[in-house]
Amino acid sequence: MKKEYWWVIIVYIVMQFSSLVGLPILIFGFKQFDISQKLAVPVYLIASFSIALIIILLLLRKEMNTRSLDEKGTSFGYSAMWAVLGVFLALFAQYVAAIIESLLGVEMGSENTQDILKIIETLPLAILVTSIIGPILEEIVFRKIIFGALYKRYNFFISALISSVIFALAHMEPVHILLYSAMGFTFAFLYVRTNRIIVPIFAHVSMNTMVVLVQSVYKDDIERLRREAEAIQNFIGGFL
């Protein structure tokens, strides 16, 4: 593995654990300046992820300048097609995995997702991390680097399995390891299919954005439509 790739992984790991030190310091600072401490988490999240992305892009700048992040990628039209299809593939994989987890007795719903939604409610700007910055970082680290390094030595299934499990465990929700692994497999498939990291990035960003919008921004509208649908169904049922 290239030296730059190791540095990228180190930066990502440091970012993930930096909150253990940085967040308490930020909370203390907010307290001193009489700023709402509820803002500390989303502000630190935005700052840490943004700084990590900038550093990682700087580490990969030579590679991006010479041949982008990929070699011999597929045509723009073909890649665009799979980028769009990839969104639905990722959602379908997530749906199937959720059904399997339910059959195995795993409770529906993700604590990680709920925590993220609470952070966005506190500071809507945090959606930039969950919908854009986070997915870009994850695809570079877990697909471009980890999966890419494994794929040079092993077949697709083994490479996707190992990288997807690592991807799942990084979300710190082992109970939903199947759910996150299914998504990891999908994004790895898109990467291999097109040999362009931008394709799984697009699918990942789009999927995360849709989930956030459905569960936060349009939550009340969807709930209202659900109640109206139930009312209409009950009205019609009264005549049957």
| Residue 65 falls inside a structural domain | no
- 228 a catalytic residue: no
Q: Which of 152, 124, 163 is nearest to 46 (CA)?
A: 124
Q: Is residue 54 part of a domain?
A: no
Question: Is position 27 within any domain?
Answer: no
In a domain? residue 127? yes
In a domain, 61, yes or no: no
**Catalytic status, residue 176:** no
In a domain, 208, yes or no: yes
The residue annotated as part of the active site, out of 71, 101, 111, 138, is 138
CA distances from 220 to 102, 120, 181 (A): 26, 15, 30
Whether 183 is in a domain gets the answer yes
Residue 125 domain flag: yes
Q: Which of 4, 63, 171, 173 is catalytic?
A: 171
The two tokens of residue 71 are 């070699």
Domain that holds residue 80: 76-237
* CA distance linking residue 198 with residue 128, whole number of Å: 17
For the chain, how many structural domains are there in total? Answer: 1
Angstrom distances, CA of residue 168 to CA of 39, 110, 138, 162, 179: 27, 13, 11, 10, 8
Per-residue pLDDT of the chain (240 residues; tens, 9 = 90+): 888 999 999 999 999 999 999 999 999 999 888 888 889 999 999 999 999 999 999 999 887 766 544 456 678 889 999 999 999 999 999 889 989 988 888 877 777 778 888 888 889 899 999 999 999 999 999 999 999 999 999 999 999 999 999 999 998 888 889 999 999 999 999 999 999 999 999 999 999 998 888 776 555 554 554 555 555 555 455 545
DSSP string, 109-137: S-HHHHHHHHHHHH-GGGHHIIIIIHHHH
